Amino acid sequence: MTIPSEADNGLTHGPGTLAMAKTSDPDSAGSQFYIVPSDSTPSWLDGEHTVFGQVISGQEHVNAISDVDTGSSDVPIHDVIIEGAWVN
């Protein structure tokens, strides 16, 4: 099952943005998402990926995950375990 694109919803990427990942097919979003770290403003993703949320607390944890050492294919060398998350 995939989710239709809503990339034209007027929301833009910035630190703490929560958005859906997809392939080159605009309606291919599924269960993958990403959160933008504080040191990034990927405006080239605006209008391409659906922004649907914003981190309001705990951005330091997003930044810490973004800063872990990675190996091949940009995969973390050590497991990153998220023990909980809350949505309001």
- pLDDT above 70: percentage of residues in the chain: 100
pLDDT over 80 (residue 88): no
- Any idea where the domains of the chain sit in the sequence? 1-56
Residues 6 or more apart whose CB falls under 8 angstroms from that of 32 comprise 20, 21, 22
Q: What confidence tier does 1 reach under pLDDT thresholds 50, 70, 90? A: confident
> Mean per-residue pLDDT for 23-46?
91
Which single residue is written with the structure tokens 């091949």? 72
Q: Return mean pLDDT, the chain.
A: 92
Mean pLDDT to the nearest integer, 25-50: 92
- Which residues are paired to 70 by β-bridges? 76
**Max alpha carbon distance in the chain (Å)?**
37
